[in-house]
Structure 1
Amino acid sequence: MKAKVFIMIMLFVLFLVGCDSEEEVDRKVQDHIMETYGFEVDITYRESLNEGNMGDRIYQVQRKDDPKVEFTVDLMGMWETKIAGDNYEIQEEAFFIGEKFVKKYENELSKLKISNVVFRKSSGLYIETSYNSTISNFKEETLQPLMEFINLLNSYKESEKFEDNYAELDINYSNDKSVQLTQIHEIKTLGQLKEQLYQDLDISNESLKAKDEELFIELENDLRKLGYQYEYGLNSDDPRFESFGCFQEFYENGECNEGYRMYLKGDSLEKDKIFELIQFLNSHSSLIFQDVIISNSKDERIIFEDIKLIKSMADIDTVYSGVNESLGKTILN
Protein backbone atom coordinates (compact mmCIF):
# COMPACT_ATOMS: atom_id res chain seq x y z
CA MET A 1 0.00 0.00 0.00
CA LYS A 2 2.81 2.39 0.96
CA ALA A 3 4.56 1.56 -2.31
CA LYS A 4 1.47 2.52 -4.32
CA VAL A 5 1.13 5.81 -2.45
CA PHE A 6 4.82 6.54 -3.03
CA ILE A 7 4.49 5.83 -6.76
CA MET A 8 1.43 8.08 -7.03
CA ILE A 9 3.24 10.90 -5.25
CA MET A 10 6.26 10.52 -7.51
CA LEU A 11 4.08 10.56 -10.63
CA PHE A 12 2.37 13.70 -9.37
CA VAL A 13 5.73 15.37 -8.72
CA LEU A 14 6.98 14.35 -12.15
CA PHE A 15 3.81 15.76 -13.68
CA LEU A 16 4.36 19.11 -12.00
CA VAL A 17 8.06 19.21 -12.84
CA GLY A 18 7.65 17.91 -16.39
CA CYS A 19 4.83 20.21 -17.49
CA ASP A 20 5.68 23.47 -19.21
CA SER A 21 5.03 26.53 -17.08
CA GLU A 22 2.56 29.16 -18.24
CA GLU A 23 5.47 31.46 -19.10
CA GLU A 24 7.06 28.74 -21.24
CA VAL A 25 3.81 28.07 -23.10
CA ASP A 26 3.32 31.80 -23.65
CA ARG A 27 6.80 32.00 -25.14
CA LYS A 28 6.11 29.06 -27.46
CA VAL A 29 2.93 30.74 -28.67
CA GLN A 30 4.71 34.06 -29.24
CA ASP A 31 7.60 32.33 -31.03
CA HIS A 32 5.22 30.40 -33.29
CA ILE A 33 3.36 33.57 -34.30
CA MET A 34 6.56 35.55 -34.87
CA GLU A 35 8.19 32.79 -36.93
CA THR A 36 5.04 32.16 -38.98
CA TYR A 37 3.68 35.67 -39.51
CA GLY A 38 6.27 38.12 -38.20
CA PHE A 39 4.23 39.98 -35.57
CA GLU A 40 3.58 39.89 -31.81
CA VAL A 41 0.28 39.15 -30.06
CA ASP A 42 -1.45 39.78 -26.76
CA ILE A 43 -2.76 36.61 -25.12
CA THR A 44 -6.35 37.29 -24.06
CA TYR A 45 -7.45 33.82 -22.94
CA ARG A 46 -5.71 30.61 -21.86
CA GLU A 47 -7.70 27.39 -21.77
CA SER A 48 -6.56 25.34 -18.78
CA LEU A 49 -4.56 22.14 -19.09
CA ASN A 50 -6.33 19.10 -17.64
CA GLU A 51 -6.70 15.35 -18.08
CA GLY A 52 -10.16 15.83 -19.56
CA ASN A 53 -8.78 17.48 -22.68
CA MET A 54 -5.57 15.39 -22.67
CA GLY A 55 -3.59 18.56 -23.18
CA ASP A 56 -5.51 19.69 -26.28
CA ARG A 57 -6.48 23.30 -25.65
CA ILE A 58 -6.57 26.75 -27.20
CA TYR A 59 -5.10 30.17 -26.57
CA GLN A 60 -7.04 33.23 -27.70
CA VAL A 61 -4.72 35.95 -28.97
CA GLN A 62 -4.93 39.35 -30.65
CA ARG A 63 -2.41 40.91 -32.97
CA LYS A 64 -0.65 43.90 -31.35
CA ASP A 65 -0.26 45.97 -34.51
CA ASP A 66 -2.84 46.66 -37.20
CA PRO A 67 -4.94 44.90 -38.28
CA LYS A 68 -5.84 43.86 -34.71
CA VAL A 69 -7.13 40.43 -35.66
CA GLU A 70 -8.26 38.07 -32.90
CA PHE A 71 -7.61 34.38 -33.51
CA THR A 72 -6.89 31.10 -31.74
CA VAL A 73 -3.76 29.00 -31.40
CA ASP A 74 -4.24 25.25 -30.95
CA LEU A 75 -2.01 23.55 -28.37
CA MET A 76 -1.47 19.87 -27.61
CA GLY A 77 0.47 17.76 -25.11
CA MET A 78 0.11 16.98 -21.41
CA TRP A 79 3.85 17.02 -20.64
CA GLU A 80 5.49 19.09 -23.33
CA THR A 81 3.27 21.61 -25.06
CA LYS A 82 3.41 21.71 -28.83
CA ILE A 83 1.75 24.13 -31.24
CA ALA A 84 -0.74 22.27 -33.43
CA GLY A 85 -1.73 25.25 -35.56
CA ASP A 86 -3.76 28.46 -35.62
CA ASN A 87 -6.58 30.06 -37.58
CA TYR A 88 -5.06 33.48 -38.22
CA GLU A 89 -5.60 33.50 -41.99
CA ILE A 90 -9.28 32.56 -41.61
CA GLN A 91 -9.88 35.24 -38.98
CA GLU A 92 -7.93 37.83 -40.96
CA GLU A 93 -10.27 37.26 -43.91
CA ALA A 94 -13.32 37.70 -41.65
CA PHE A 95 -11.75 40.78 -40.05
CA PHE A 96 -11.34 42.52 -43.42
CA ILE A 97 -14.92 41.64 -44.42
CA GLY A 98 -16.08 43.32 -41.21
CA GLU A 99 -13.75 46.29 -41.60
CA LYS A 100 -15.05 46.93 -45.10
CA PHE A 101 -18.64 46.73 -43.82
CA VAL A 102 -17.95 49.31 -41.10
CA LYS A 103 -16.29 51.71 -43.54
CA LYS A 104 -19.09 51.34 -46.08
CA TYR A 105 -21.89 52.03 -43.57
CA GLU A 106 -20.07 54.22 -41.06
CA ASN A 107 -22.64 57.04 -41.10
CA GLU A 108 -25.62 54.70 -40.92
CA LEU A 109 -24.15 52.74 -37.99
CA SER A 110 -23.57 55.92 -36.00
CA LYS A 111 -27.21 56.99 -36.44
CA LEU A 112 -28.39 53.53 -35.36
CA LYS A 113 -26.26 53.67 -32.16
CA ILE A 114 -24.33 50.63 -33.40
CA SER A 115 -20.60 50.37 -32.64
CA ASN A 116 -17.72 47.92 -32.17
CA VAL A 117 -18.77 45.68 -35.06
CA VAL A 118 -16.45 42.67 -35.32
CA PHE A 119 -16.67 39.76 -37.77
CA ARG A 120 -15.28 36.33 -36.84
CA LYS A 121 -15.36 33.04 -38.67
CA SER A 122 -16.17 29.51 -37.58
CA SER A 123 -18.95 27.51 -39.20
CA GLY A 124 -20.09 30.72 -40.88
CA LEU A 125 -19.61 34.36 -39.92
CA TYR A 126 -20.18 35.40 -36.32
CA ILE A 127 -20.82 39.10 -35.79
CA GLU A 128 -20.47 40.86 -32.46
CA THR A 129 -21.65 44.43 -31.94
CA SER A 130 -22.63 46.96 -29.29
CA TYR A 131 -26.03 48.66 -29.26
CA ASN A 132 -26.22 51.79 -27.11
CA SER A 133 -29.85 51.31 -26.11
CA THR A 134 -32.27 49.15 -24.21
CA ILE A 135 -34.26 46.48 -26.07
CA SER A 136 -37.99 46.14 -25.48
CA ASN A 137 -40.47 43.97 -27.33
CA PHE A 138 -43.12 46.63 -26.74
CA LYS A 139 -41.11 49.66 -27.88
CA GLU A 140 -40.54 49.60 -31.61
CA GLU A 141 -38.23 52.60 -31.35
CA THR A 142 -35.71 50.26 -29.67
CA LEU A 143 -36.19 47.54 -32.30
CA GLN A 144 -36.21 49.58 -35.51
CA PRO A 145 -32.45 50.38 -35.37
CA LEU A 146 -31.68 46.67 -34.97
CA MET A 147 -33.93 45.88 -37.92
CA GLU A 148 -32.11 48.46 -40.05
CA PHE A 149 -28.75 47.06 -38.94
CA ILE A 150 -29.81 43.56 -40.00
CA ASN A 151 -30.97 44.98 -43.34
CA LEU A 152 -27.52 46.53 -43.81
CA LEU A 153 -25.84 43.19 -43.08
CA ASN A 154 -28.05 41.35 -45.56
CA SER A 155 -27.59 44.02 -48.24
CA TYR A 156 -23.83 43.90 -47.70
CA LYS A 157 -23.72 40.14 -48.22
CA GLU A 158 -25.72 40.46 -51.43
CA SER A 159 -23.48 43.21 -52.81
CA GLU A 160 -20.15 41.62 -51.81
CA LYS A 161 -21.24 38.08 -52.74
CA PHE A 162 -18.98 36.35 -50.18
CA GLU A 163 -19.68 32.66 -49.68
CA ASP A 164 -20.01 32.43 -45.90
CA ASN A 165 -23.46 32.83 -44.38
CA TYR A 166 -24.10 34.72 -41.17
CA ALA A 167 -24.22 32.13 -38.40
CA GLU A 168 -24.97 34.37 -35.42
CA LEU A 169 -25.36 38.01 -34.46
CA ASP A 170 -24.34 38.74 -30.86
CA ILE A 171 -25.68 42.10 -29.65
CA ASN A 172 -24.32 43.64 -26.45
CA TYR A 173 -26.76 46.21 -25.11
CA SER A 174 -27.44 48.24 -21.96
CA ASN A 175 -26.11 47.13 -18.55
CA ASP A 176 -23.71 44.49 -19.93
CA LYS A 177 -26.48 42.31 -21.34
CA SER A 178 -26.45 40.45 -24.62
CA VAL A 179 -28.78 38.64 -26.99
CA GLN A 180 -27.98 36.23 -29.82
CA LEU A 181 -29.85 36.15 -33.12
CA THR A 182 -29.53 33.39 -35.71
CA GLN A 183 -30.66 32.94 -39.30
CA ILE A 184 -30.54 36.71 -39.74
CA HIS A 185 -30.77 36.36 -43.52
CA GLU A 186 -34.38 35.29 -42.88
CA ILE A 187 -35.22 38.34 -40.72
CA LYS A 188 -36.99 40.70 -43.10
CA THR A 189 -39.60 42.35 -40.85
CA LEU A 190 -39.97 43.63 -37.28
CA GLY A 191 -42.35 40.77 -36.63
CA GLN A 192 -39.69 38.21 -37.53
CA LEU A 193 -37.17 40.03 -35.34
CA LYS A 194 -39.61 39.98 -32.42
CA GLU A 195 -40.16 36.24 -32.86
CA GLN A 196 -36.50 35.65 -32.05
CA LEU A 197 -36.42 38.20 -29.23
CA TYR A 198 -39.44 36.50 -27.63
CA GLN A 199 -37.19 33.46 -27.07
CA ASP A 200 -34.81 35.48 -24.90
CA LEU A 201 -36.16 35.24 -21.35
CA ASP A 202 -34.24 38.29 -20.08
CA ILE A 203 -35.58 40.58 -22.80
CA SER A 204 -39.10 39.18 -22.44
CA ASN A 205 -39.14 39.71 -18.67
CA GLU A 206 -37.55 43.16 -18.92
CA SER A 207 -40.04 44.18 -21.61
CA LEU A 208 -43.01 42.98 -19.60
CA LYS A 209 -41.80 44.64 -16.40
CA ALA A 210 -41.33 47.95 -18.20
CA LYS A 211 -44.76 47.70 -19.83
CA ASP A 212 -46.55 46.78 -16.58
CA GLU A 213 -44.40 48.84 -14.19
CA GLU A 214 -47.12 51.35 -13.35
CA LEU A 215 -49.54 48.51 -12.63
CA PHE A 216 -47.05 46.84 -10.27
CA ILE A 217 -46.41 50.14 -8.47
CA GLU A 218 -50.14 50.53 -7.93
CA LEU A 219 -50.42 46.88 -6.89
CA GLU A 220 -47.62 47.32 -4.35
CA ASN A 221 -49.58 50.05 -2.58
CA ASP A 222 -52.69 47.85 -2.43
CA LEU A 223 -50.68 44.88 -1.14
CA ARG A 224 -49.29 46.94 1.72
CA LYS A 225 -52.83 47.70 2.85
CA LEU A 226 -53.38 43.93 3.12
CA GLY A 227 -50.13 43.48 5.07
CA TYR A 228 -47.90 42.15 2.27
CA GLN A 229 -45.10 43.40 0.04
CA TYR A 230 -42.83 42.22 -2.78
CA GLU A 231 -40.25 39.87 -1.26
CA TYR A 232 -37.36 41.21 -3.36
CA GLY A 233 -38.69 44.71 -3.90
CA LEU A 234 -40.16 46.27 -7.02
CA ASN A 235 -36.80 46.21 -8.81
CA SER A 236 -34.00 43.80 -7.90
CA ASP A 237 -30.32 44.33 -8.69
CA ASP A 238 -29.84 40.56 -8.87
CA PRO A 239 -31.69 38.83 -11.76
CA ARG A 240 -31.67 35.58 -9.76
CA PHE A 241 -34.02 37.14 -7.22
CA GLU A 242 -37.00 38.89 -8.77
CA SER A 243 -40.32 39.51 -7.06
CA PHE A 244 -42.23 38.70 -10.23
CA GLY A 245 -41.56 37.22 -13.64
CA CYS A 246 -42.88 34.80 -16.21
CA PHE A 247 -41.86 31.26 -17.13
CA GLN A 248 -40.73 30.94 -20.74
CA GLU A 249 -43.37 28.32 -21.51
CA PHE A 250 -46.07 30.82 -20.51
CA TYR A 251 -45.00 33.41 -23.07
CA GLU A 252 -46.97 33.94 -26.24
CA ASN A 253 -46.06 36.83 -28.55
CA GLY A 254 -44.20 38.46 -25.69
CA GLU A 255 -47.16 38.36 -23.29
CA CYS A 256 -47.35 36.27 -20.13
CA ASN A 257 -50.66 34.64 -20.99
CA GLU A 258 -50.80 32.07 -18.19
CA GLY A 259 -49.89 34.60 -15.52
CA TYR A 260 -46.96 35.95 -13.54
CA ARG A 261 -45.04 34.11 -10.86
CA MET A 262 -44.84 36.36 -7.79
CA TYR A 263 -42.97 36.30 -4.47
CA LEU A 264 -44.61 38.11 -1.55
CA LYS A 265 -43.74 38.58 2.09
CA GLY A 266 -45.99 39.42 5.04
CA ASP A 267 -46.47 39.00 8.76
CA SER A 268 -49.47 36.68 8.59
CA LEU A 269 -49.91 33.29 6.94
CA GLU A 270 -53.28 32.73 8.58
CA LYS A 271 -55.79 31.08 6.28
CA ASP A 272 -58.34 33.88 6.21
CA LYS A 273 -55.69 36.51 5.44
CA ILE A 274 -54.18 34.35 2.70
CA PHE A 275 -57.61 33.74 1.16
CA GLU A 276 -58.31 37.48 1.19
CA LEU A 277 -54.98 38.06 -0.58
CA ILE A 278 -55.67 35.40 -3.24
CA GLN A 279 -59.14 36.79 -3.91
CA PHE A 280 -57.66 40.26 -4.35
CA LEU A 281 -54.99 39.06 -6.80
CA ASN A 282 -57.49 37.02 -8.83
CA SER A 283 -59.78 40.04 -9.14
CA HIS A 284 -57.12 42.33 -10.62
CA SER A 285 -58.47 43.90 -13.78
CA SER A 286 -55.20 44.03 -15.76
CA LEU A 287 -52.68 41.56 -14.31
CA ILE A 288 -52.93 37.76 -14.31
CA PHE A 289 -51.07 35.65 -11.75
CA GLN A 290 -50.16 31.98 -11.85
CA ASP A 291 -47.96 30.64 -9.06
CA VAL A 292 -47.62 32.80 -5.96
CA ILE A 293 -45.18 32.16 -3.10
CA ILE A 294 -45.87 33.90 0.21
CA SER A 295 -43.39 33.89 3.11
CA ASN A 296 -43.09 35.43 6.55
CA SER A 297 -40.23 36.55 8.82
CA LYS A 298 -39.83 32.96 10.11
CA ASP A 299 -39.09 31.81 6.55
CA GLU A 300 -42.31 29.81 6.47
CA ARG A 301 -43.90 29.62 3.02
CA ILE A 302 -47.19 29.00 1.28
CA ILE A 303 -46.68 27.94 -2.33
CA PHE A 304 -49.64 28.11 -4.72
CA GLU A 305 -49.19 26.37 -8.07
CA ASP A 306 -51.97 28.37 -9.73
CA ILE A 307 -54.02 30.82 -7.68
CA LYS A 308 -56.74 30.84 -10.36
CA LEU A 309 -57.71 27.39 -9.03
CA ILE A 310 -58.33 28.73 -5.52
CA LYS A 311 -62.05 29.44 -5.36
CA SER A 312 -62.99 28.99 -1.71
CA MET A 313 -61.75 28.59 1.85
CA ALA A 314 -62.10 24.84 1.29
CA ASP A 315 -59.34 25.10 -1.33
CA ILE A 316 -57.16 26.97 1.18
CA ASP A 317 -57.80 24.19 3.74
CA THR A 318 -56.74 21.63 1.12
CA VAL A 319 -53.44 23.44 0.54
CA TYR A 320 -52.71 23.70 4.27
CA SER A 321 -53.59 20.05 4.86
CA GLY A 322 -51.23 18.83 2.13
CA VAL A 323 -53.92 16.59 0.65
CA ASN A 324 -53.64 17.97 -2.89
CA GLU A 325 -50.27 19.49 -3.78
CA SER A 326 -51.46 20.30 -7.30
CA LEU A 327 -53.17 23.30 -5.68
CA GLY A 328 -50.20 24.17 -3.49
CA LYS A 329 -48.29 23.28 -0.36
CA THR A 330 -47.02 24.76 2.89
CA ILE A 331 -43.57 24.87 4.47
CA LEU A 332 -44.26 25.67 8.12
CA ASN A 333 -42.00 25.44 11.17
Structure 2
Amino acid sequence: MTPASRHQEGAGGVERVGVVGCGLMGSGIAELSAQAGYDVRVAVSSKDSLTAGRKRILASLDRAVRAERIGAAERDEVLGRISFTTDLIDLADRQLVIESIAEDKAAKVELFALLDKTLEDPEAILASNTSSLSITTMASATGRPEQVLGMHFFSPAQRIPLVEIISSLHTAESVLARAEEFVAAGLGKQAIASTDRTGFVVNALLIPYLLAAVRMVESGFASAETIDRGMTLGCSHPVGPLKLADLVGLDVLRSVADALYDEFKETLYAPPPLLTRMVASGFLGKKAGRGFYRYG
Protein backbone atom coordinates (compact mmCIF):
# COMPACT_ATOMS: atom_id res chain seq x y z
CA MET A 1 0.00 0.00 0.00
CA THR A 2 1.50 3.33 -1.03
CA PRO A 3 1.29 6.32 1.31
CA ALA A 4 -1.14 8.09 -1.03
CA SER A 5 -3.55 5.13 -1.01
CA ARG A 6 -3.94 5.37 2.77
CA HIS A 7 -5.67 8.74 2.56
CA GLN A 8 -9.35 8.64 3.49
CA GLU A 9 -11.30 11.55 2.08
CA GLY A 10 -12.11 13.99 4.84
CA ALA A 11 -10.33 12.05 7.61
CA GLY A 12 -10.81 14.22 10.67
CA GLY A 13 -12.76 16.66 8.52
CA VAL A 14 -9.53 17.67 6.80
CA GLU A 15 -8.73 18.03 3.10
CA ARG A 16 -6.45 21.08 3.16
CA VAL A 17 -3.39 21.07 5.43
CA GLY A 18 -1.15 23.99 6.30
CA VAL A 19 2.38 23.63 7.65
CA VAL A 20 4.30 26.56 9.13
CA GLY A 21 8.05 26.08 8.87
CA CYS A 22 9.98 23.95 6.40
CA GLY A 23 13.05 22.85 8.28
CA LEU A 24 13.82 19.19 8.93
CA MET A 25 10.50 18.52 10.67
CA GLY A 26 8.25 20.89 8.75
CA SER A 27 9.40 19.58 5.39
CA GLY A 28 8.89 16.00 6.58
CA ILE A 29 5.35 16.72 7.78
CA ALA A 30 4.52 18.49 4.50
CA GLU A 31 5.91 15.61 2.43
CA LEU A 32 4.08 13.01 4.54
CA SER A 33 0.77 14.87 4.24
CA ALA A 34 1.13 15.28 0.47
CA GLN A 35 2.03 11.59 0.09
CA ALA A 36 -1.20 10.79 1.92
CA GLY A 37 -3.15 12.74 -0.68
CA TYR A 38 -3.73 16.05 1.09
CA ASP A 39 -3.56 19.50 -0.46
CA VAL A 40 -0.60 21.00 1.45
CA ARG A 41 0.47 24.62 1.70
CA VAL A 42 3.72 25.46 3.46
CA ALA A 43 4.28 28.91 4.96
CA VAL A 44 7.84 30.08 5.63
CA SER A 45 9.40 33.32 6.83
CA SER A 46 11.48 34.27 3.78
CA LYS A 47 12.18 33.51 0.13
CA ASP A 48 15.47 31.88 1.15
CA SER A 49 13.59 29.54 3.51
CA LEU A 50 11.10 28.80 0.73
CA THR A 51 13.87 27.81 -1.68
CA ALA A 52 15.66 25.72 0.94
CA GLY A 53 12.42 24.00 2.00
CA ARG A 54 11.44 23.09 -1.54
CA LYS A 55 14.92 21.66 -2.17
CA ARG A 56 14.74 19.66 1.07
CA ILE A 57 11.43 18.06 0.09
CA LEU A 58 12.60 17.32 -3.46
CA ALA A 59 15.82 15.75 -2.18
CA SER A 60 13.86 13.54 0.23
CA LEU A 61 11.49 12.39 -2.51
CA ASP A 62 14.41 11.72 -4.85
CA ARG A 63 15.98 9.51 -2.17
CA ALA A 64 12.70 7.62 -1.89
CA VAL A 65 12.69 7.08 -5.67
CA ARG A 66 16.27 5.80 -5.63
CA ALA A 67 15.38 3.44 -2.77
CA GLU A 68 12.37 2.26 -4.81
CA ARG A 69 9.92 3.19 -2.04
CA ILE A 70 8.00 5.29 -4.57
CA GLY A 71 8.10 5.75 -8.34
CA ALA A 72 9.03 8.87 -10.26
CA ALA A 73 5.40 9.48 -11.21
CA GLU A 74 4.30 9.40 -7.57
CA ARG A 75 7.13 11.78 -6.65
CA ASP A 76 5.80 14.27 -9.19
CA GLU A 77 2.23 13.84 -7.92
CA VAL A 78 3.36 14.50 -4.35
CA LEU A 79 5.25 17.64 -5.39
CA GLY A 80 2.15 18.80 -7.26
CA ARG A 81 0.15 18.71 -4.01
CA ILE A 82 2.56 21.05 -2.19
CA SER A 83 2.54 24.82 -2.59
CA PHE A 84 4.65 27.40 -0.76
CA THR A 85 4.10 30.91 0.52
CA THR A 86 5.80 33.58 2.59
CA ASP A 87 2.48 35.10 3.70
CA LEU A 88 0.38 33.53 6.46
CA ILE A 89 -2.79 34.88 4.86
CA ASP A 90 -2.41 32.16 2.22
CA LEU A 91 -3.27 29.62 4.93
CA ALA A 92 -6.71 31.19 5.44
CA ASP A 93 -8.59 28.27 3.81
CA ARG A 94 -6.77 25.49 5.69
CA GLN A 95 -8.75 23.11 7.91
CA LEU A 96 -5.68 21.99 9.88
CA VAL A 97 -2.47 23.95 10.40
CA ILE A 98 0.56 22.27 11.95
CA GLU A 99 3.15 24.65 13.38
CA SER A 100 6.74 23.41 13.11
CA ILE A 101 8.99 26.37 13.80
CA ALA A 102 11.92 26.55 16.23
CA GLU A 103 11.36 25.61 19.90
CA ASP A 104 10.89 29.22 21.01
CA LYS A 105 7.91 29.79 23.29
CA ALA A 106 7.48 33.48 22.51
CA ALA A 107 7.66 32.88 18.75
CA LYS A 108 5.12 30.06 18.91
CA VAL A 109 2.70 32.07 21.04
CA GLU A 110 2.91 34.97 18.59
CA LEU A 111 2.37 32.62 15.65
CA PHE A 112 -0.70 30.99 17.20
CA ALA A 113 -2.26 34.38 17.83
CA LEU A 114 -1.72 35.29 14.17
CA LEU A 115 -3.02 31.96 12.87
CA ASP A 116 -6.15 32.31 14.98
CA LYS A 117 -6.93 35.58 13.20
CA THR A 118 -5.98 34.19 9.77
CA LEU A 119 -7.98 30.95 9.51
CA GLU A 120 -11.46 31.43 8.01
CA ASP A 121 -12.93 28.07 9.10
CA PRO A 122 -14.20 28.40 12.69
CA GLU A 123 -13.73 24.61 13.07
CA ALA A 124 -10.10 24.63 11.89
CA ILE A 125 -7.63 22.86 14.16
CA LEU A 126 -4.35 24.46 15.23
CA ALA A 127 -1.62 21.94 16.10
CA SER A 128 1.93 22.35 17.35
CA ASN A 129 4.75 19.97 16.55
CA THR A 130 6.56 21.10 19.70
CA SER A 131 8.59 18.41 21.44
CA SER A 132 8.43 20.03 24.87
CA LEU A 133 6.56 23.33 25.17
CA SER A 134 3.17 23.94 26.80
CA ILE A 135 0.15 23.48 24.54
CA THR A 136 -1.94 25.40 27.08
CA THR A 137 0.27 28.47 26.68
CA MET A 138 -0.14 28.43 22.89
CA ALA A 139 -3.89 27.76 23.13
CA SER A 140 -4.34 30.69 25.48
CA ALA A 141 -3.00 33.05 22.80
CA THR A 142 -6.00 32.22 20.59
CA GLY A 143 -9.73 32.77 20.65
CA ARG A 144 -10.27 29.05 20.01
CA PRO A 145 -8.28 27.27 22.77
CA GLU A 146 -10.56 24.23 22.55
CA GLN A 147 -9.30 23.65 18.98
CA VAL A 148 -5.59 23.72 19.83
CA LEU A 149 -3.53 20.61 20.56
CA GLY A 150 -0.09 19.12 20.13
CA MET A 151 0.73 16.85 17.21
CA HIS A 152 4.31 15.73 17.86
CA PHE A 153 5.95 13.92 14.96
CA PHE A 154 9.31 12.16 15.15
CA SER A 155 12.18 12.52 12.70
CA PRO A 156 12.04 11.60 9.91
CA ALA A 157 8.30 12.27 9.94
CA GLN A 158 7.84 10.46 6.63
CA ARG A 159 9.02 7.15 8.09
CA ILE A 160 8.72 7.03 11.90
CA PRO A 161 5.31 5.47 12.62
CA LEU A 162 4.48 7.34 15.84
CA VAL A 163 2.73 10.66 16.50
CA GLU A 164 2.05 11.94 20.02
CA ILE A 165 -1.25 13.82 20.32
CA ILE A 166 -1.29 16.19 23.27
CA SER A 167 -4.44 17.72 24.69
CA SER A 168 -4.49 20.67 27.05
CA LEU A 169 -7.16 21.36 29.66
CA HIS A 170 -8.92 23.39 26.95
CA THR A 171 -8.91 20.84 24.10
CA ALA A 172 -12.38 19.60 23.14
CA GLU A 173 -12.90 15.84 22.98
CA SER A 174 -14.32 16.19 19.46
CA VAL A 175 -11.16 18.00 18.31
CA LEU A 176 -8.98 15.32 19.87
CA ALA A 177 -11.00 12.65 18.05
CA ARG A 178 -10.64 14.49 14.72
CA ALA A 179 -6.88 14.78 15.21
CA GLU A 180 -6.58 11.08 16.02
CA GLU A 181 -8.60 10.21 12.91
CA PHE A 182 -6.40 12.44 10.74
CA VAL A 183 -3.23 10.83 12.08
CA ALA A 184 -4.46 7.23 11.89
CA ALA A 185 -6.82 7.08 8.90
CA GLY A 186 -5.35 10.02 7.02
CA LEU A 187 -1.61 9.58 7.50
CA GLY A 188 -1.47 5.91 8.42
CA LYS A 189 0.45 6.59 11.63
CA GLN A 190 0.07 5.19 15.14
CA ALA A 191 -1.08 7.77 17.69
CA ILE A 192 -0.52 7.82 21.43
CA ALA A 193 -2.21 10.32 23.73
CA SER A 194 -0.49 12.51 26.29
CA THR A 195 -1.60 15.20 28.66
CA ASP A 196 0.05 18.61 28.47
CA ARG A 197 3.16 17.83 30.47
CA THR A 198 6.60 19.04 29.40
CA GLY A 199 8.31 16.29 27.38
CA PHE A 200 5.00 14.44 26.97
CA VAL A 201 5.53 10.65 26.98
CA VAL A 202 8.53 9.88 24.77
CA ASN A 203 10.87 12.76 25.56
CA ALA A 204 10.17 12.57 29.28
CA LEU A 205 11.77 9.11 29.12
CA LEU A 206 14.26 9.64 26.29
CA ILE A 207 15.93 12.92 27.30
CA PRO A 208 17.33 11.72 30.68
CA TYR A 209 18.80 8.69 28.86
CA LEU A 210 20.53 10.86 26.26
CA LEU A 211 21.79 13.31 28.89
CA ALA A 212 23.21 10.41 30.95
CA ALA A 213 25.20 9.32 27.89
CA VAL A 214 26.52 12.88 27.43
CA ARG A 215 27.59 12.98 31.08
CA MET A 216 29.41 9.68 30.64
CA VAL A 217 31.43 11.14 27.75
CA GLU A 218 32.00 14.37 29.69
CA SER A 219 33.40 12.49 32.69
CA GLY A 220 35.86 10.57 30.50
CA PHE A 221 34.38 7.28 31.63
CA ALA A 222 33.76 6.08 28.07
CA SER A 223 33.90 7.37 24.51
CA ALA A 224 30.83 8.06 22.37
CA GLU A 225 31.71 5.06 20.21
CA THR A 226 31.99 2.74 23.21
CA ILE A 227 28.69 3.93 24.71
CA ASP A 228 26.86 3.55 21.42
CA ARG A 229 28.30 0.08 20.76
CA GLY A 230 27.33 -0.96 24.27
CA MET A 231 23.71 0.09 23.82
CA THR A 232 23.27 -1.22 20.27
CA LEU A 233 24.98 -4.58 20.84
CA GLY A 234 24.15 -5.07 24.50
CA CYS A 235 20.58 -3.76 24.56
CA SER A 236 19.57 -4.27 20.91
CA HIS A 237 18.84 -0.57 20.44
CA PRO A 238 18.78 0.33 16.72
CA VAL A 239 21.04 3.33 17.33
CA GLY A 240 23.18 4.42 20.26
CA PRO A 241 22.31 7.44 22.45
CA LEU A 242 25.08 9.75 21.20
CA LYS A 243 24.41 9.05 17.53
CA LEU A 244 20.71 9.53 18.26
CA ALA A 245 21.49 12.85 19.95
CA ASP A 246 23.35 13.93 16.81
CA LEU A 247 20.35 12.94 14.67
CA VAL A 248 17.90 14.80 16.89
CA GLY A 249 20.15 17.87 16.94
CA LEU A 250 22.12 18.89 20.01
CA ASP A 251 20.41 22.28 20.04
CA VAL A 252 17.03 20.56 20.12
CA LEU A 253 18.23 18.21 22.88
CA ARG A 254 19.44 21.19 24.90
CA SER A 255 16.15 23.06 24.36
CA VAL A 256 14.00 20.13 25.48
CA ALA A 257 16.25 19.48 28.47
CA ASP A 258 15.97 23.16 29.49
CA ALA A 259 12.17 22.98 29.29
CA LEU A 260 12.04 19.79 31.35
CA TYR A 261 14.40 21.19 33.99
CA ASP A 262 12.49 24.46 34.17
CA GLU A 263 9.26 22.62 34.95
CA PHE A 264 10.44 19.81 37.23
CA LYS A 265 13.77 21.05 38.65
CA GLU A 266 15.12 17.50 38.68
CA THR A 267 18.86 17.10 38.09
CA LEU A 268 18.41 14.26 35.59
CA TYR A 269 16.93 16.87 33.19
CA ALA A 270 19.71 19.46 33.62
CA PRO A 271 21.81 19.93 30.44
CA PRO A 272 25.43 18.87 31.05
CA PRO A 273 28.08 21.60 30.54
CA LEU A 274 29.56 19.64 27.61
CA LEU A 275 26.24 19.79 25.76
CA THR A 276 25.97 23.53 26.39
CA ARG A 277 29.52 24.13 25.09
CA MET A 278 28.93 22.02 21.98
CA VAL A 279 25.77 23.94 21.10
CA ALA A 280 27.55 27.27 21.69
CA SER A 281 30.34 26.08 19.36
CA GLY A 282 27.91 25.19 16.57
CA PHE A 283 28.48 21.44 16.95
CA LEU A 284 24.78 20.64 16.57
CA GLY A 285 25.01 17.09 15.26
CA LYS A 286 24.49 15.61 11.83
CA LYS A 287 22.75 18.68 10.36
CA ALA A 288 25.84 20.78 11.14
CA GLY A 289 28.37 18.14 10.05
CA ARG A 290 29.71 17.70 13.56
CA GLY A 291 28.42 16.64 16.94
CA PHE A 292 29.64 13.64 18.91
CA TYR A 293 30.63 12.33 15.47
CA ARG A 294 31.85 13.99 12.28
CA TYR A 295 29.74 13.77 9.12
CA GLY A 296 30.94 14.12 5.55
TM-score range, shorter chain: under 0.3
Q: Between Structure 1 and Structure 2, whose CA radius of gyration is higher? A: 1
More strand by share: 1
More helix by share: 2
